[in-house]
């Protein structure tokens, strides 16, 4: 095998190895988004009191983040058994599943 063919084969093998994990991560993200759509998660815009009234008391209220500047409001996070709800000030901005693909299986808790 010539040096050129060896280099080309090595480059091809490296590209295949580099692309494979990325494709797997994309599949996991797509699956998670599809699963979230079928679940009854707190909707964007609900207040903290509405979420607690409808979904119950969270398992944990996680450490707030942000709030250092007016353009960076405090983000609060509440953990429920299968998902985390993110609040900007006191309104829901997003709810995500607690999955390894979401990288939020061990959040730091306040309580």
pLDDT grade, residue 71 (50/70/90)? confident
Hey, CA dihedral for 92, 93, 98, 103, is it positive or negative?
negative
Q: Answer whether residue 109 is part of any domain.
A: no
Q: What is the mean pLDDT of the chain?
A: 76
Domain count, the chain: 1
Mean pLDDT of 32-48: 83
Question: What are the distances in angstroms from CA 37 to CA 43, 45, 47, 66, 85?
Answer: 11, 16, 20, 28, 15
Say if CB 55 and CB 78 are below 8 A apart.
no
Q: What is the pLDDT at residue 1?
A: 56
Residue 54 belongs to domain spanning: 3-102
End-to-end Cα distance, the chain = 64
Q: Answer whether residue 110 is part of any domain.
A: no
| pTM for this prediction | 0.62
Q: Answer whether residue 33 is part of any domain.
A: yes
């Amino acid at each position: 095998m010539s040096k050129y063919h060896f280099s080309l084969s090595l480059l091809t093998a490296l590209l295949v190895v580099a692309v494979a994990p990325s494709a797997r991560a994309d599949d996991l993200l797509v699956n998670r988004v599809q699963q979230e759509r079928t679940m009854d998660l707190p909707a964007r815009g609900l207040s903290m009191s509405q979420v607690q009234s409808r979904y119950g008391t969270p398992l944990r209220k996680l450490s707030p983040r942000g709030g250092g500047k007016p353009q960076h409001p405090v983000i609060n996070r509440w953990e429920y058994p299968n998902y985390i709800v993110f609040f900007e000030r006191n309104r829901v901005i997003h709810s995500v599943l607690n999955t390894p693909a979401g990288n939020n299986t061990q959040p730091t808790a306040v309580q």
